Structure 1
Amino acid sequence: ELTRCVEHTPRKRPTMAQRQLQRPMSTSSSGAPSLRKFSTSAAAVTEDDGKHTPYGEDGSGFYSEATKGCYDVIANAKPMVIEALDRALAARRATGAAAQNAVFTVADFGTADAGTSMPLMRDVVQAIRAAEGPMTPIVVAYEDQTENDWNSVFRRVHGILQGADASFMDAGDPRVFAHAVGTSFYQPCFPAGTLDLAFSATAMHWLSTAPGSIPDALHSACTQDAAALAAYEAQAARDWQHIMEQREKELKAGGQIVLVNFAKDEDGQFLGRSVRMEESMHHTFSDIWKELVTPEEFLATNFPNQYRSLEATVAPFGTAIPSLQVVHAKTELVECPFYNSFNQKRDGYEFLNDPAGHAANYVPTTRTWSNSTFLAGLSKTRPLRERQALVDELFARYEARVATQPGHHAMDYTHAYVHCEKPLP
């Protein structure tokens, strides 16, 4: 089933020259990922540090400003989230939590700068307040990695970020609270039995580590190497079960979780590759990167993430994690709003008759999440400025290809949408 994205016209992007003045946030002088080891009584995992470093100016809200398609992906999840919320509210009525005005806690895992989920969080807070009345304290807790752009999160939530969507805090409700958790979702992030509703979109495809190099591609979704693919699938399965074991503990009995994860569907569609597109984004990245770097650097450039199948996504639920039960699960494609705005001649799009302007407008949505992976793959014998210039050149060449053939390039989204419940006893 293909679902068209809601009409969300992208706004003007800075030019490539302007973007080259921006620097990736939290980049070390070496640009090399290190290892972080977290150990608790509940979990122990070694996780690559720097595998996904935010790109853009700290506190600018650049991620959400550039990543318009994720608004549509999350809007597509709203019916599933509303059903999950209804079930969570019913569980609170059954346990007496609603009558006792117990805290209702919502968690957004992998929030980035909190922009793409803000319309949904606002609707969720309003629905909770309508259902339980004015006395229930409501906590919206944002989770992401320590080096996340937390400045943008706080500025957005508190209505300081210019041009941002309305926040759930704008109404001035004294019993609505915003919290932040700078702990990896590979670790326990909340006390056991405290979450009523959990949500995560386009975040949990990131692996704790890349299990090895990929000889013929940059991403496991593109490889024809059976051993490399098997290694990534095995790592993804271990990591996914580990992440979900933490979430199961954090949910209350009757709690709900909605997961929107990048996927590879039965038609072979995945991020940037769909049946309607002539070109595949990840394959194009690979072709350009080979032109720019040494064979050793190409082999060292691996996206440490996995676009799981729907079957792999639901595999732990009801089996390895018996107390999490699947309510609904599906894959859907959401079309790239940049491509549609240009190629379908949508009113209000600034670059309707400007292929070069359209390309400059579109390309940042592919860079916000990938820049640090390319930077990390380059030899540390190169000066940092040279490494940054090579990554700039990659995106400049990609932009040129899009400008030449704007009808061939898009970042369509394929996701697994999964709703799970931790049933009442």
Structure 2
Amino acid sequence: MAIAMTTGYSAQTEGALLCIEAASDWALTCVDQLAVSDSHVLIDYGAADGGTAVGLWNQVLDHLHGNQPEAHLTLIGNDLPSNDNVALAENLALQLPRPPKPTVLVSARSFYEPSVGPNTVSFGFSATAMHWLSASPGQLETHTHVLASGDAEALERFTTQAMKDWTFILELRSRELKVGGRLLTVNLSRDEEGRYLGHNGGETRNVHDQLHQIWRGLADAGVISEEQYRSGTVLNFYKSPEEFMAPLKDTTSAPYRNGLRLVNERTVYVKCPYRRRWNENGDTAAFAAGLMATIRSWSRHSFASVAGDSIADQVYKQLEQRIAEAPSEWSLDYVEHHQIMEKVA
């Protein structure tokens, strides 16, 4: 199954940048706790085009160099084979002119595969990437996103796939970390009140319901077939904190047996930056265009892959119109789960 972000992802995802900035304190905590070594490998799993994390890696590299000035640092950016890896390489290369003049590399394989050799990584980081599923758990019959569907049977299928994927991702990372290495994940999550990206508990419209209404409308108008309608599923899943921690509490899981342990966790909320600006300046056209673009950046592939580019463009034209017609009813607020892990043996 192919997953793809839109070209120019970083320019369209200011919220993702803010989520990374909210995790910078824990990133620095992780590198503070690394044992002294003559070299360290740092890796960004699911980096997309790398633009949203440039500032974070500036801080991490500076901080680690200050702590261990003799250590050689290597920074690796990783995403999927479908990623814009040329842009990723360019953003990683922004670190080259600055002390400590690290080596920068691109790992052009999926984060559902091994990325580097065993016992290699001192610090691994991942932000807003590990909610994508590696395989389809099956179609949804009445919605485009499982968490908004109200379909208990589908929710069970998607939960099973999501937990299988997450456990396997942690197994891979637990092999790659060296003993004493740290892994920090910053994942889109679902809180105890059921809020998640696109659903803020009713303060504003559920973004996933709005996308579904547009998609259903295209089917009702005969623009797409019923089969295309059912295939237009956003194949991601926002796990709860307990689901994120589960493989690290299960002593029989592969990552636990490999020595991966939970160090700390927290839930963090990031309010929509596009809505904040609209509250300040009232520029509805800019708000509608910006919010539409950030939603399109992660959801477009779900529709374009089954119905083509021109029909996907219709989805986002209608979405922008809906936002412009009722701007006070729109916001894309983030629910994030931060988790620090360490390999102990």
Please give the TM-score of this superposition, normalised by the length of structure 2: 0.94
Q: 1:278: which partner in 2?
A: 204
Q: 1:367: which partner in 2?
A: 296
- Aligned partners of 1:353 and 1:83: how far apart in 2? 39
What's the secondary structure of 1:237's corresponding residue?
helix
Q: Does the Cα contact within 8 Å between 1:105 and 1:138 map onto a contact in 2?
A: yes
- Distance apart, 1:315 and its partner CA: 0.3
Q: Does the Cα contact within 8 Å between 1:210 and 1:302 map onto a contact in 2?
A: no
Q: Partner letter of residue 249 of structure 1?
A: R
The answer to whether structure 1 residue 305 and structure 2 residue 305 are counterparts is no
Q: Does the Cα contact within 8 Å between 1:216 and 1:224 map onto a contact in 2?
A: no
- Distance apart, 1:87 and its partner CA: 1.7
The answer to whether structure 1 residue 317 and structure 2 residue 248 are counterparts is yes
Q: Partner letter of residue 4 of structure 2?
A: T
Q: Does the Cα contact within 8 Å between 1:107 and 1:198 map onto a contact in 2?
A: yes
The answer to whether structure 1 residue 355 and structure 2 residue 284 are counterparts is yes
Q: 2:76: which partner in 1?
A: 141
- Aligned partners of 2:66 and 2:77: how far apart in 1? 22
- Aligned partners of 1:132 and 1:278: how far apart in 2? 47
Q: 1:64: which partner in 2?
A: 10
- Aligned partners of 2:208 and 2:202: how far apart in 1? 16
Which residue of the other structure, out of 315, 336, 341, is the alignment partner of 1:420?
A: 341
The answer to whether structure 1 residue 152 and structure 2 residue 87 are counterparts is yes
Please give the TM-score of this superposition, normalised by the length of structure 1: 0.76
Q: Does the Cα contact within 8 Å between 1:290 and 1:298 map onto a contact in 2?
A: yes
- Distance apart, 1:230 and its partner CA: 0.3
Matches within 5 A, 1:332-411: 332-343=268-279, 345=280, 352-378=281-307, 387-411=308-332
Q: Partner letter of residue 261 of structure 2?
A: Q
1:259-304 deviations in Å (ceiling 9; x for gaps): 1111111111111111363201111000111111333222111111
- Aligned partners of 2:244 and 2:213: how far apart in 1? 30
Q: Does the Cα contact within 8 Å between 1:318 and 1:324 map onto a contact in 2?
A: no
Q: Does the Cα contact within 8 Å between 1:210 and 1:305 map onto a contact in 2?
A: no
Q: Does the Cα contact within 8 Å between 1:356 and 1:400 map onto a contact in 2?
A: no
Matches within 5 A, 1:10-49: 48=1
- Distance apart, 1:149 and its partner CA: 0.6
Misfit runs of 4+, over 4 Å = none
- Distance apart, 1:172 and its partner CA: 5.8
What's the secondary structure of 1:267's corresponding residue?
coil
- Distance apart, 1:204 and its partner CA: 0.8
- Aligned partners of 2:10 and 2:182: how far apart in 1? 26
Moved more, 273-282 or 235-244: 273-282
- Aligned partners of 2:91 and 2:239: how far apart in 1? 31
- Aligned partners of 1:240 and 1:147: how far apart in 2? 20
Q: Does the Cα contact within 8 Å between 2:4 and 2:82 map onto a contact in 1?
A: yes
What's the secondary structure of 1:152's corresponding residue?
helix
- Aligned partners of 1:314 and 1:172: how far apart in 2? 36
User: Which structure 1 residue ranges, 5 or more long, are not aligned?
Assistant: 1-47, 57-61, 159-166, 346-351, 379-386
Give aligned pairs, total. 335
- Distance apart, 1:148 and its partner CA: 0.9
- Aligned partners of 2:311 and 2:331: how far apart in 1? 23
Q: 2:166: which partner in 1?
A: 240
- Aligned partners of 2:22 and 2:124: how far apart in 1? 17
Q: Which has the higher helix share?
A: 2
- Distance apart, 1:354 and its partner CA: 2.9
Which residue of the other structure, out of 142, 145, 154, is the alignment partner of 1:216?
A: 142
Q: 1:40: which partner in 2?
A: none
Q: Partner letter of residue 97 of structure 2?
A: D
Tell me how large the CA RMSD over aligned residues is. Answer: 1.4
Q: Does the Cα contact within 8 Å between 2:191 and 2:335 map onto a contact in 1?
A: yes
- Distance apart, 1:331 and its partner CA: 1.7
- Aligned partners of 1:358 and 1:224: how far apart in 2? 30
- Distance apart, 1:417 and its partner CA: 0.8
1:169-217 deviations in Å (ceiling 9; x for gaps): 232644x110110111111111000000000001111111111111221
Structure index of larger Rg:
1
- Aligned partners of 2:310 and 2:113: how far apart in 1? 35
What's the secondary structure of 1:333's corresponding residue?
strand
- Aligned partners of 2:305 and 2:192: how far apart in 1? 32
Moved more, 286-295 or 255-264: 286-295
- Aligned partners of 2:169 and 2:282: how far apart in 1? 46
Q: 2:222: which partner in 1?
A: none
- Aligned partners of 1:331 and 1:358: how far apart in 2? 27
Q: Partner letter of residue 139 of structure 1?
A: T
Q: Does the Cα contact within 8 Å between 1:375 and 1:388 map onto a contact in 2?
A: yes
- Aligned partners of 1:109 and 1:171: how far apart in 2? 22
The answer to whether structure 1 residue 79 and structure 2 residue 15 are counterparts is no
Which residue of the other structure, out of 202, 205, 227, is the alignment partner of 1:296?
A: 227
